[in-house]
Structure 1
Amino acid sequence: MNAQDTQTEPGTRRIAVLGEMLELGDGAPQAHWDTGQEAGQLGVDIVIAVGGENAKQLALGAAAAGADVAIVADNDTATALLEKLLHPGDVVIIKGSRGGMRWKIAQALTGQEITGILS
């Protein structure tokens, strides 16, 4: 992925950091692919998929819908990638199962401690 390729105007990109959804059971691969595809169809410019096999499905679905994708193994790698990619005004959404602790990415990027998680 080349961040410059996804940059139409400074600070206008939509970036989704999507972690694996751990509770899906047998339908997980297809659900992850569908989620990635939906992100791309909704105009997400870059999808960063975090995790293992199901993260690959997220990325494949997003790529099929035209988003640029990256697959990373863990939160620390996702954070490092975001720190390199982000420009002022970019919009980032971070989502995944509570077990994946994706909130740590937001905490690292903002420098603000997460004090509670809503159910």
Structure 2
Amino acid sequence: MTEAGGTATDTAAKPQGGRTIAVLGEMLELGDEAVEAHRNVGRMAGELGVDIVIGVGGDMVKQMVLYAGHHGVEHLAMVADNKTAADFLEKILLPGDKVLMKASRGGMLWQIAQRLTGQPVTGF
């Protein structure tokens, strides 16, 4: 709204990011230490102040996400695959957000980065 004789200006600022988002997939070939290793990654996400953890995968990833929540990460998500993760990120990313993607090579999380940056998705 403007007052009589005033000029219309948009004073509403666009939302800014600055959040730290961790996209975490399964770490393969850990053997007997697999459950504890996945839990430790979740714990570290909380201790490092990560704002959002997105787990991509199954039961081992669920351990990471649950431990991240237990150790202070307030915003958690679990998705089944890279396409769903990319869809979700496209909806929540804000300018200034930082995204870390980590998994074993077999998780092919690079596909998410490729999609988000407009590159052809490889590795199927």
**Shorter-chain TM-score tier:** 0.7 to 0.9
Q: For residue 105 of structure 1, what is the aligned residue in structure 2?
A: 112
Cα separation, 2, equivalents of 1:107 and 1:34: 28
Which structure has the bigger radius of gyration? 2
- Offset from partner CA, 1:15-45 (integer Å, 9 cap, x none): 0000000121121111101101101110110
Spell out structure 1 runs of 4+ moving beyond 2 A: 112-115
Cα distance 1:21–1:114, how it changes in 2: closer, same or farther (>3 A)?
A: same
List gaps (5 residues or longer) in structure 1. 1-8
- Offset from partner CA, 1:37-88 (integer Å, 9 cap, x none): 1011101100001110001001011101111211111101110110111001
Could you say which structure has the higher helix fraction? Answer: 1
Question: Residue type matched to 1:97 in 2?
Answer: S
- 1:17-56 pair list within 5 angstroms: 17-56=23-62
**Matched pairs, number:** 107
Question: Residue type matched to 1:25 in 2?
Answer: G
Matched, 1:58 2:67: no
* TM-score computed with the length of structure 1 as normaliser: 0.84
After superposition, the CA RMSD in angstroms is 1.5
Q: Name which of 64, 67, 88 aligns with 1:81.
A: 88
Post-superposition offset of 1:113: 4.6
What's the % identity of the aligned pairs? Answer: 61
